[in-house]
């Protein structure tokens, strides 16, 4: 009997470096509504919690005295809509896959490993992005910020996705780059593979992880270890 493994991936900063296109959308909104633009390093720290928090955090950090503007729900909604509209049309202009992603996904698929994406991106934007960057067909399921009534760091974002994929939480791995991923995985009791230099303000030592990787090159060795361990465990109890 072949041991079935489920891999869950974050998207932004994990499967792809999406910061350049998110920066373009962010700065488009900032210019239109009269706020200062950001640089690429600043925007990497805002990615992962959704458009609303990205915009709100950006304004809060650069214009505290204008906080009243962001508390105006109408203006906030207009900014979010503008961001989503612009980004939706420009998702894969400068974004690119993290080194080794395509080759790893091919390997995992050939080894009968179930794969899904758990992202705090809007679900339709995530699916559209994955299709445009030509890796959508590798995944059995994609869940976004608006798929459930909760999202990362809530562990149910991971556990619900695994359940829908007919997976086993005890035979699953999470691959991500930020505290949203690590906190969700830790709470769910799922081993965590963390990418260095992720979209987060926190230091590596502040983030829970079982393995630390630079990119996806050689990741199959780590995953194979889990496959072998689980297969041996299955054999012992068979």
Q: Which CATH number covers residue 159?
A: 3.40.50.1000
Among the residue ranges 53-57, 88-92, 147-151, the one predicted with the least confidence is 53-57
Of 93, 157, 160, 165, the residue nearest 129 (C-alpha): 93
- For residues 208 and 134, membership in a common domain is answered with yes
- For residues 214 and 119, membership in a common domain is answered with yes
**49 contact partners, CB below 8 Å, separation of at least 6:** 57, 120, 180
Catalytic residues: 10
If phi > 0 it is left, if psi is from -120 to 50 it is alpha, else beta; for residue 232 that is: alpha
Q: Name which residue leads in pLDDT, 83 or 190.
A: 190
- For residues 81 and 115, membership in a common domain is answered with no
Q: How many domains does the chain have?
A: 2
**221 contact partners, CB below 8 Å, separation of at least 6:** none
In a domain, residue 169? The reply is yes
Measure Cα distances from 5 to 94, 111, 113, 166 in Å.
32, 9, 5, 11
Is 172 in contact with 230 (CB distance < 8 Å)? no
Phi then psi for residue 108, to 5 deg, are: -60, -40
In a domain, residue 54? The reply is yes
In a domain, residue 32? The reply is yes
- For residues 85 and 101, membership in a common domain is answered with no
CA atoms of 175 and 14, how far apart (whole Å):
7
- For residues 179 and 224, membership in a common domain is answered with yes
DSSP, collapsed to helix, strand or coil, labels residue 49 as coil
pLDDT in tens, 102-115: 999 999 999 999 99
What is this structure's pTM? 0.89
Domain membership of residue 154 as a residue range: 6-17+96-237
CA atoms of 136 and 206, how far apart (whole Å):
32
- For residues 52 and 120, membership in a common domain is answered with no
Boundary (domain end) residue, out of 89, 121, 142: 89
Q: Which CATH number covers residue 68?
A: 1.10.150
pLDDT in tens, 167-195: 999 999 999 999 999 999 999 999 999 99
79-99: average pLDDT: 93
Q: With 60 as the cut, is the pLDDT of residue 65 above it?
A: no
């Amino acid at each position: 009997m072949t041991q079935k493994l489920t891999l869950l991936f974050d998207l932004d900063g994990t499967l792809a470096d999406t910061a350049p296109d998110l920066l373009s959308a962010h700065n488009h909104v900032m210019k239109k509504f009269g706020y200062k633009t950001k640089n690429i390093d600043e925007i990497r720290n805002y990615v992962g919690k959704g458009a609303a928090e990205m915009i709100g955090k950006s304004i809060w950090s650069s214009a505290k005295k204008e906080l009243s503007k962001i508390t105006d729900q109408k203006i906030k909604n207009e900014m979010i809509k503008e961001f989503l509209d612009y980004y939706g049309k420009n998702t894969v202009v400068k974004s690119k896959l993290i080194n080794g992603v395509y080759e790893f996904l091919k390997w995992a698929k050939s080894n009968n490993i179930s794969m899904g994406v758990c992202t705090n991106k809007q679900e339709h934007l995530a699916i559209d992005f994955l299709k445009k960057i030509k890796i959508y067909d590798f995944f059995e399921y994609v869940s976004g910020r608006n798929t459930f009534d909760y999202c990362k760091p809530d562990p149910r974002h991971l556990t619900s996705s695994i359940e829908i994929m007919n997976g086993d939480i005890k035979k699953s791995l999470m691959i991500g780059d930020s505290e949203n991923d690590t906190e969700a995985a830790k709470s769910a009791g799922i081993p965590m593979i963390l990418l260095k230099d992720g979209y987060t303000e926190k230091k590596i030592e502040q983030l829970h992880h079982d393995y630390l990787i630079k990119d996806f090159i050689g990741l199959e060795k780590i995953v194979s270890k889990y496959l072998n361990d689980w297969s041996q465990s299955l054999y012992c109890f068979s």
